[in-house]
Amino acid sequence: MKAVLIEKPYVKKLYGISGKLTDQGAWASAKPLMDRVWEDIRADQHKTTGINYWYYHGARSIFVGVELLNADIKNAKLEFLDIQIPHYAYLKFIGPYSGMNRAYSELSKLIRDHTRTETGNNLEVYGHDNGPTSIPEVEVLLGVE
């Protein structure tokens, strides 16, 4: 796992649900929201890339969503969010979710070493599933100034 700084904007147009982070942590806050997103997608038969995006912004806000592939998405019950992160530290984490703190530590160190500051706009990209015995892969982006 190697962290790098990227100066090219990261842009995604997502549909999902906003929520607040609770004291129980990100997983406990975001997982029920992500379940609701997928319920709506299945109910309305939207086509997606199958990738889940968890976007942390502000002090305690989160948006969980997906990219929709449908040509006619104006009937989507989900919120639209145009994510734009102009500069960011990036790392592709491969391993059990319990080790994700290492990824954040490495990214924060890289940012400090380059005398940059975090913006508080962070993104986790999930969905690189290679079957039931696969090791989780999560792309982590920390916005920087």
Looking at residue 119, what DSSP letter applies? E
Give whole-number Cα distances, 115 to 2, 12, 94, 107, 124, in Å: 18, 27, 27, 13, 23
- Cα–Cα dist 125/137, whole Å: 9
Short-list 92, 143, 78, CA closest to 116: 143
What local confidence, expressed as pLDDT, does residue 21 receive?
87
pLDDT of residue 59: 76
Determine the pLDDT at residue 100.
86
Q: What is the DSSP letter of 23?
A: T
Q: Which residues contact 115 (CB under 8 A, 6 or more apart)?
A: none
Q: What are phi and psi of 115, to 5 degrees?
A: 50, 45
Domains delineated in the chain: 4-144 (3.20.80.10)
Amino acid at 122: N
Per-residue pLDDT of the chain (145 residues; tens, 9 = 90+): 699 999 999 999 999 999 998 887 777 888 899 999 999 988 888 889 999 999 999 778 999 999 998 756 665 689 999 999 999 999 999 888 888 889 999 999 999 999 999 999 999 999 866 656 667 889 999 999 9
- Find where tokens 């920390």 sit: 142
pLDDT of residue 99: 85
As given in the structure block, the two tokens for residue 16 are: 């999902």
pLDDT value at residue 92: 94
